[in-house]
Amino acid sequence: MLALSACTVHPASILHPQGAAARMEYQLFDFSLVVMTGVFLSVVIPLTYVIVRYRKRSADQPLPRQVEGSHRLEILWTVVPVILVIALAVPTVGDAFRLAAPAGPNALQITVIGHQWWWEFRYPGLGIVTADEMHLPAGQRVELTLQSADVLHSFWVPSLGGKEDTVPGQTNTMWLEADRPGTYPGQCAEFCGLSHSLMRFYVVAQTPSAFHTWAHGMRHPATTPRTPLATQGLAVFNQFGCGGCHTIDGTPAQGKVGPNLTGLGNRSVIVAGALQNNAADLTQWIHDPTAIIPGTVMPAFSGLSPQQMTALTAYLEGLK
């Protein structure tokens, strides 16, 4: 069973690094595993041999000759561990500095803000603000500036790099890079309240041209509804005060409590990846958010009629 459990390739695994930062960390992991396995075997094999070879064979067997102290052995088992600790420390400290170094002038800058319980991604150079899905160009270094809107969170994309905390009132940085286009799951790795375990997100690495297409779409989002149904939806959005908490660029909705909904139609997931981006899931969310994210500040809008809901979701889905 144990051997079989190693068969799946899980996308969120430090054991399958998909970028430069993750690979450095994985190589350290591999190296320590080899060293530690050597230490384990060099203790357990002689120990097992001694236990079997010198066990008490009969009740009247006398005690063996008692010996005490051996300078040679004591020097050996002091010097060997010191050498091993140095061998582990040199690459670890070196990588820690390499990972903390600035990502270079060509790095794409993204600000990551942890909220209870969702992730906000801002691209200061591109004028984009979004949530849940962090897009980046594959093969290019990305420098992350990490902040928190409320409590401690920890940003973690296992297959792309290590964890870095988002700390209230403080700014941390890290860099990461994805070798190839793909979708890499991430999650909050620091207990941050009731729905901590639901605080997920995705890193969507794209070819540079696909990334630019995405960025262009996000910078020039639809702001006016394109169908009569969506126009009704905008009225519902205003009537129920959604704009008090949500921003939609180019509209009067400028709320800052919840995720920025600009370009929402371009996303594949909503609500920290707990739901898909379609009319049915949006309806479920707007009707009863606490059923999905216990403790969320978004109130339930159970008073919407089915017609109002259809119009509202048509408006939201059309934001692309």
What is the binding site for ligand HEC (CB under 6 A)? Answer: 117-118, 131-132, 237, 240-242, 244-246, 257-259, 261, 270-272, 282, 285-286, 293, 296-299, 301, 312, 316
Question: Considering only CA atoms, which of 95, 293, 320 is closest in space to residue 219?
Answer: 320
Position among 20, 146, 176, 199 found at the interface with Cu ion (CB under 5 A): 199
Question: Considering only CA atoms, which of 135, 185, 144, 140 is closest in space to residue 16?
Answer: 185
Tell me the residue type at 219. R
Q: Where are the alpha helices (DSSP H) in the chain?
A: 20-53, 71-100, 208-219, 228-239, 279-287, 289-292, 306-317
The structure tokens 């594949």 sit at 268
Q: Which of Cu ion, ligand HEC, none interacts with 21 (beta carbon under 5 to 8 A by kind)? A: none
Q: Which of Cu ion, ligand HEC, none interacts with 203 (beta carbon under 5 to 8 A by kind)? A: none
Q: Tell me the C-alpha distance between 194 and 134, whole Å.
A: 24
Position among 99, 128, 174, 188 found at the interface with Cu ion (CB under 5 A): 188
Q: Which of Cu ion, ligand HEC, none interacts with 218 (beta carbon under 5 to 8 A by kind)? A: none
Joined together, the tokens standing for residue 285 give 């969310």
Q: Which of ligand HEC, Cu ion, none interacts with 258 (beta carbon under 5 to 8 A by kind)? A: ligand HEC
Comparison of 199 and 236: residue with beta carbon closer to Cu ion: 199
Q: Which of ligand HEC, Cu ion, none interacts with 192 (beta carbon under 5 to 8 A by kind)? A: Cu ion
Question: Considering only CA atoms, which of 276, 259, 256 is closest in space to residue 267?
Answer: 276
Q: Which stretch binds Cu ion (CB under 5 A): 2-10, 59-67, 150-158, 311-319?
A: 150-158
Q: What minimum distance in Å lies between the beta carbon of 132 and ligand HEC?
A: 5
Please answer whether residues 171 and 180 qualify as being in contact, where contact means their C-beta atoms are separated by less than 8 angstroms. Answer: no
Comparison of 192 and 311: residue with beta carbon closer to Cu ion: 192
Sequence-separated (6 or more) residues with CB below 8 Å from residue 105: none
Q: Which of Cu ion, ligand HEC, none interacts with 241 (beta carbon under 5 to 8 A by kind)? A: ligand HEC
Q: What minimum distance in Å lies between the beta carbon of 288 and Cu ion?
A: 22
Q: How many amino acids of this chain bind Cu ion (CB under 5 A)?
A: 4
Comparison of 49 and 191: residue with beta carbon closer to ligand HEC: 191
Helix and strand numbers (H, E) in the chain are: 7, 12
DSSP 147: E
Sequence-separated (6 or more) residues with CB below 8 Å from residue 243: 237, 251, 252, 253, 254, 255
Binding site for Cu ion (CB under 5 A): 153, 188, 192, 199
